[in-house]
Every structure is written in structure tokens, then in C-alpha cells.
A and B are shown apart, each in its own frame.
Chain A
Amino acid sequence: MTDREQYTPGAATGAQVRKGGENWTLILARELRHSPEKVWQALTDPAQLHEWAPFDADVSLGTAGSTVKLTTVGAPTPHVTETTVTRADAPKVLEYKWGGNDMRWELEALDGGTRLTLWTSINRRFIAMGAAGWHICLDVLDHLLSGTPLGRTVGPEAMKFLGFQRLHAEYDKQFGVDSPGRPK
């Protein structure tokens, strides 16, 4: 077991934004040393999502057309949204919505590993916060698949975490935004 206290997120890298309107698109790419099939399972299976994602799913996200309830983890009041999986081409492309946020995952095979890219729409005021949150989630996912789990780090718990504030500030700077909620 890796101790989460020893985990420090790396620098804010691998993210891009596409600006326009109220909702911008965050594009976060990560290379993982795990096969697309293994990563696909982690993106769709409720039990695995429970270990790393910022939401719980009541059923698998891996079937196009299925209706899935997503519960945001760590929200101070219960927050459940329903989505229909619009695309599930295993193990390559997965699309659904998390509330009003479009979610698109792309998996490309890469020397025995996977290049994983997340495209997600986020209100521009919260895009740096979202980038920091997903950055940490993908670290937690990577450790989970490597058999050295850090433990899910989402919601207010993630924000208390020192590395989160640093990442948030770094992404703010990279995206040229000033987020309203970030402690200075």
C-alpha cells in the first residue's frame, strides 16, 4: 500500500482548454502503463469507479443507451444526476454526461499502455478547479491500476489537500483565468 500522505501531485501538465462561451472544454491527457481493456474497465465498472472517480455510478457506464445514475461524491448535500451513455465503443471511446457536463474519454493503445484523453465541458469559472480535481483523480486511477492504491481523493477532501491548491493555482495561470473560489 502506498501511503496517501506521501503522495504529491506532479506539476500541472497535459491539460489544454478550448475557450468559448460560458462552458469551456478541458482536455486532459495522460499516458498509463496499462492496456486499454484494463483502463476501460476502470472507466465503466461501478466498483472501480468507486475507487477513484468523483462520482459513483449505479450501473456500468459501458453500454451505449443505458441510463446511469451518477452520485457526486463528497457534495455536502446529496447530488444525483441521471445520464444516458451516448457512446461506448470498448475499449476506445466513451461518452456520457455528468449533470450538464459533457464527458468524452478516448483510449489509444500505446506500446502496451494507453494514452487516455478526457474531454469535458466545465463552466469557465471552475475550469482550473476541475483540471486540478481530474489531475488528482487520474493519479489515483494510475496508482489503482498499478496495484498501489492511494485511496479516492475527491470533493472537499481533495480541496483540503495541499497539492490541490497548488495545482489549482498552476492551472489558473496556464489557462489565464482567475477562479472565484480559490483561497489566495
Chain B
Amino acid sequence: MKIKLTSVYVDDQDKALRFYTEVLGFAKKADFSQGPFRWLTVASPEEPNGTELQLALNNNPAATAYQQAMFQQSQPAAMFFTDDIKGDYERIKSLGAEFTMPPTDVTGSTIAMLNDTCGNLIQLTQLARW
């Protein structure tokens, strides 16, 4: 048993694909459709066969309610790990993304939080080196 996939709900899959590839820098992995259903995933170019992130449409009331509640409580919908949070912060910010928290030292790590424009907060984490 392996963890190969995790999901975030998004309000618009085309917009999400643009943000997660052009701004965050991930690469599209799977994109197929059956009727109204669209299976869309991205992966990290640093780990093309690593865990995929599904950009799932929030088109059911439970998904929308969950997404809004998480956002209002400033809870990230997903967390990505980086070895260079300052560099990623500058790069992503220069591409127009809005950070709700700049890189901030907390116990054992440095974290930052950004708005993915699709209804979510995303946390970037760099673990402190021991």
C-alpha cells in the first residue's frame, strides 16, 4: 500500500491548472475527462513519479463547505515541502501570488502561506536543519 495521490478542491480546474503549473511550478501529470468529470493531477518536476496532487472540482456542497471552512480558519488545504523557502517565496510572489504569511520561523521549520486563487491556502514548509 502506497500514498500516491492527495487532493485539493478548486473552484475552477483551468484556473487551478494555470496557477499550480505557471505560478507554483508543478507539471501537469494526468488530464482526462468523462462527461462532466475531469481527472486532473499535477506532480513536482523534482519528483515526476512522486505523489500526485489532484485538482478536484469543488462542485458538491460538502466540498465547498469544507473548503470555505478551512479557508476561513486559515487552515492550509495542502502543504508542500521545499529546501529553499526564501527562494520559492520570492519566485512565487514575483509571479503575482498573494502570500498571507511571509516565511516565518516556527519550531523546527520555516513556513509561509499563500492563496492559490482557487479557494485554498497553501502552506510552504522548510524543515530546519539539525
Q: Which residue of B lies closest to A103 (CB)?
A: B35
**Contact in complex: A79, B37 (CB < 8 Å):** yes
Interface residue range, chain A: 20 to 34
A101/B35 in contact, CB under 8 A: yes
Segment at the B interface, from A9-17, A35-43, A109-117, A123-131: A123-131
Question: Can you list, as one digit per residue, whether each of B71-94 has a CB less than 8 Å from chain A (1) or not (0)?
Answer: 000000000000000000000000
The answer to whether B32 and A159 have CB atoms under 8 Å apart is yes
Q: Is A100 located at the chain interface by the 8 A CB criterion?
A: yes
Tell me if A98 counts as interface (CB < 8 A to partner B). yes
Asked if A181 meets B32 with Cβ closer than 8 Å, knowing A77-B56, A80-B60, the reply is yes
A79 touches B36 (CB 8 A): yes
Interface: A28 (CB within 8 A): no
B37 touches A72 (CB 8 A): yes
Query: A129–B33 contact, CB under 8 A?
Result: yes
Q: A21: CB under 8 A from chain B?
A: no
With the chains together, A122 CA to B33 CA distance in Å? 10
Contact of A55 with B by CB under 8 A: yes
**CB-nearest residue of chain B relative to A98?**
B35
What residues on B are CB-neighbors of A55 within 8 Å?
Answer: 35
Separation of A159 and B59 alpha carbons in the complex (Å): 25
- Interface residues in chain B, defined as those with a beta carbon under 8 Å from any beta carbon in chain A: 7, 28, 30-39, 54, 56, 59-60
Measured CB to CB, the residues of A under 8 A from B are: 54-55, 72, 74-77, 79-81, 98-101, 122-123, 125-126, 129-130, 133, 154-155, 159, 180-181
